[in-house]
Structure 1
Amino acid sequence: MNNKFFPSNFLFISIMLLGTIMTLSSPHWLTMWIGLELNLMGFLPLMNIKGKSLEAEASMKYFIIQSISSSVLIMSSLMLYNYNMSWYSMFNHKFLSTMLLMSLILKLGGAPLHFWLPNMTKQMTWLILFLILTWQKIAPLFMLTLISNMNILILISLLSTLLGSIMILNQTNMQLIITYSSISHLGWMLSMIMLNTSLTIIYFMNYIIISIPLMNLLNSYNNNHLYTLTHKNKINKMMLPTLILSLAGLPPLLGFMSKLLILISLMQMNFILMTLLLFIGSLISLFFYLNMTLMTIIKSYFLFENNMLLKSYNLIYLMNIFSIFIFYFLINILIK
């Protein structure tokens, strides 16, 4: 980013952070909505940081979608307040609470309201894509923990996992691959958000730990197409495949540890069919990720050479490899 040290960017980042913190610390829905709007107002200028026309188009799409979801959110909140005369526990009305839940799902980009996210991410830089797939999901995920509508959340969770895994097949754009992967991972997080919030937080933190080095590595390539993974470079050859397989959830890597905790917890609660469908969605995406790994390891053509050297991620690399041993105590607690 050419102008990343421009003083106004610090202001926009501060507003974005303040909006999310305000939502997380708010006592009721009106101030949560204000926090979401602050976050949006701080994030939109960051999307236009290079001043390109594609960034302006993406930011306009993002603004329209977020404005629609915020409008539905505040209107359903006001109607629920009118129904219950309270901002705190107001989920007695099934239809209005479902509308409020769907507005948050639209903000998150979960299926079946995910149509806007892949359409927009192709035009973004990797840093903005990372923020949309991680930081921008924190506040809506927190708000979902306050809505008690288990049946709808289970349906959205299964749709997100299966659609994200199926749509990733035959994709060639790396940003679209990461986006559909995020939709699939969102389904796993939503599956536990009403049952065990701590597991959702663990899954989300592990997703961030995997995404930071992976997106930084992908950002080093000349373009965002899948064939660029076959270029010969001086990056540790096992780093990128390990991160890709960890994102897929292959044992014994860090991504597998997150999914194992959720699968064990769901089976203990007798959600057998849900566990099976989540597992099938993970296997579908694993097939595609294994193909990406083969391209990285086996098909590294000497014709294309990239001499770029990147920062070392030895700590994250070791955490991915030895995650089962590092986090064994968590698995042991859940099994017992």
Structure 2
Amino acid sequence: MNNKFFPSNFLFIMTMVTGTLFSLSSSHWLTMWMGLELNLMGFLPLMNIKGKSMEAEASMKYFIIQSMSSSILIISSVIMYNINLSWYSMFNNNMISTMIVLSLILKLGGAPLHFWLPSITKQMSWSILFLMLTWQKLAPLLMLSLTNSNTFMILLFSISSTIMGSIMALNQTNIQLIMTYSSISHLGWMLSSISLNSSLTLIYFINYTIISIPLMSMLSLSKGNHLYMLTQKNKTNNMIIISLILSLGGLPPLLGFMSKLIILISLVQMKMMMLTLLLFLGTLISLYFYLNMSLMLMIKSYMLFNTNKISKNYNLIISLNILSSFIIYPLIIMFIK
């Protein structure tokens, strides 16, 4: 971050966090909408933190998309209030609930309404990209869990996000775009359980954030944002980055596999076999580009073998990622049963 304007950066971060907490702590649709707008007002200046023209263009696109989805959301909420005389989750009208779900999926960047996300994220710094792919999804996900109808429609968005996010990442060379499409694919997994069991989605979201923090921090140390840059020499421990990338891919016994396992068990118990198979298909496609990234790092590890120590800040998170099968699996079984 640009330390020259640090006090204002702190103010914007606090505005963004307050807006999200506003939405999370309310069950009133008007207050949740106000929280989303406050969050947007805090996040937009952070996108322009380096003052580049490309960042200004990205923030303008983001503002237009978020304003459009917020407009649809507030209009739908007002119509819902006129029908039910209630600002709370009473979705008797199917068309209104469809409009609200569409506006929230557009906010999240779920496929096929994901068209705006990649063009914005490839121009961001890694810290802002991390906020975009994690924190900015929190409030809309909670609001989706409050929509008690249109489960089938949300599941369709879930399948399309998982498969499209995986396919679109296959021929990308920009690491930031790969992480963005990976995030869309993971969003599909979160959406698959959002209307069935929102606490499982929260566990998945927390696990995704735990993996993303050290991974994006380490990827930001590479000299550029293209895949071939991973073969350049730098001071990070490559095997740890490989374990985090494979964890995002969902290989056992890593943390990413554990979070997918929770959702798979619950979907199989609900007899949703077709949905489970399609989610599996999306994950298998995404494993190709995760393994491609891992291979590049592995070649680098062989050619330019370093024994640099990793920063102690992430030791706990990385231990949790690698030992999750022993720590988290028993907790998952207890939670589901």
TM-score bracket for the superposition, by shorter chain length: over 0.9
TM-score by length of structure 2 reads 0.95
Asked whether the equivalents of residues 163 and 279 of structure 2 are also in contact (C-alpha less than 8 Å), the reply is: yes
The 5 Å alignment of 1:283-322 reads 283-300=284-301, 311-312=311-312, 313-322=314-323
* Distance in 2 (alpha carbons) for counterparts of 1:119 and 1:233: 28
Asked whether the equivalents of residues 233 and 308 of structure 1 are also in contact (C-alpha less than 8 Å), the reply is: no
Secondary structure of residue in 1 paired with 2:3 = coil
Secondary structure of residue in 2 paired with 1:298 = helix
Asked whether the equivalents of residues 89 and 147 of structure 2 are also in contact (C-alpha less than 8 Å), the reply is: no
* Distance in 2 (alpha carbons) for counterparts of 1:308 and 1:12: 36
* Distance in 2 (alpha carbons) for counterparts of 1:7 and 1:288: 40
Deviations 1:114-172 (A, max 9, x none): 00000111110001110011111111001001102201010000000000011110110
Letter in 1 for 2:189: W
Deviates more, 1:230-239 or 1:321-330: 230-239
1:40 paired with 2:49, answer no
1:154 corresponds in structure 2 to: 155
The Cα of 1:320 is off from its aligned counterpart by 1.3
The 5 Å alignment of 1:136-215 reads 136-148=136-148, 149-215=150-216
The Cα of 1:310 is off from its aligned counterpart by 5.7
Asked whether the equivalents of residues 217 and 310 of structure 1 are also in contact (C-alpha less than 8 Å), the reply is: no
The 5 Å alignment of 1:100-115 reads 100-115=100-115
TM-score by length of structure 1 reads 0.95
The Cα of 1:307 is off from its aligned counterpart by 11
Asked whether the equivalents of residues 126 and 220 of structure 2 are also in contact (C-alpha less than 8 Å), the reply is: yes
1:217 paired with 2:218, answer yes
Letter in 1 for 2:156: L
1:270 corresponds in structure 2 to: 271
Letter in 2 for 1:78: V
1:240 paired with 2:273, answer no
The 5 Å alignment of 1:15-94 reads 15-94=15-94
Unaligned runs of 5+ in 2: none
* Distance in 2 (alpha carbons) for counterparts of 1:4 and 1:38: 24
Unaligned runs of 5+ in 1: none
Number of positions where the alignment pairs a residue of Structure 1 with one of Structure 2:
335
Secondary structure of residue in 2 paired with 1:172 = coil
Letter in 2 for 1:283: L
The Cα of 1:43 is off from its aligned counterpart by 0.8
* Distance in 1 (alpha carbons) for counterparts of 2:199 and 2:215: 25
Per the alignment, do residues 30 and 335 of structure 1 end up closer, same or farther by CA in structure 2, a change over 3 Å counting?
A: closer
* Distance in 1 (alpha carbons) for counterparts of 2:196 and 2:49: 40
Deviates more, 1:192-201 or 1:323-332: 323-332
Secondary structure of residue in 2 paired with 1:105 = helix
The Cα of 1:306 is off from its aligned counterpart by 10
Deviations 1:217-255 (A, max 9, x none): 111011100011112333222111001000000111000
Per the alignment, do residues 44 and 335 of structure 1 end up closer, same or farther by CA in structure 2, a change over 3 Å counting?
A: closer
1:10 corresponds in structure 2 to: 10
* Distance in 2 (alpha carbons) for counterparts of 1:135 and 1:33: 16
Letter in 2 for 1:38: L
Asked whether the equivalents of residues 4 and 49 of structure 1 are also in contact (C-alpha less than 8 Å), the reply is: no
The 4+ residue runs of structure 1 with deviation greater than 4 A are 299-303, 305-310
The Cα of 1:57 is off from its aligned counterpart by 0.7
Secondary structure of residue in 2 paired with 1:170 = coil
Secondary structure of residue in 1 paired with 2:88 = coil
Per the alignment, do residues 27 and 288 of structure 1 end up closer, same or farther by CA in structure 2, a change over 3 Å counting?
A: closer
The Cα of 1:309 is off from its aligned counterpart by 7.4
Query: Percent identity, aligned pairs only?
Result: 70
Letter in 2 for 1:202: I
Asked whether the equivalents of residues 237 and 306 of structure 2 are also in contact (C-alpha less than 8 Å), the reply is: no
Which has the larger helix fraction?
Answer: 2
* Distance in 1 (alpha carbons) for counterparts of 2:3 and 2:317: 29
* Distance in 1 (alpha carbons) for counterparts of 2:331 and 2:280: 20
Asked whether the equivalents of residues 162 and 282 of structure 2 are also in contact (C-alpha less than 8 Å), the reply is: yes
* Distance in 2 (alpha carbons) for counterparts of 1:235 and 1:136: 28
Letter in 1 for 2:40: L
1:252 corresponds in structure 2 to: 253
Secondary structure of residue in 1 paired with 2:164 = helix
Deviations 1:67-114 (A, max 9, x none): 000000000111111111111133111011100110000000001100
2:135 corresponds in structure 1 to: 135
Per the alignment, do residues 211 and 178 of structure 1 end up closer, same or farther by CA in structure 2, a change over 3 Å counting?
A: same
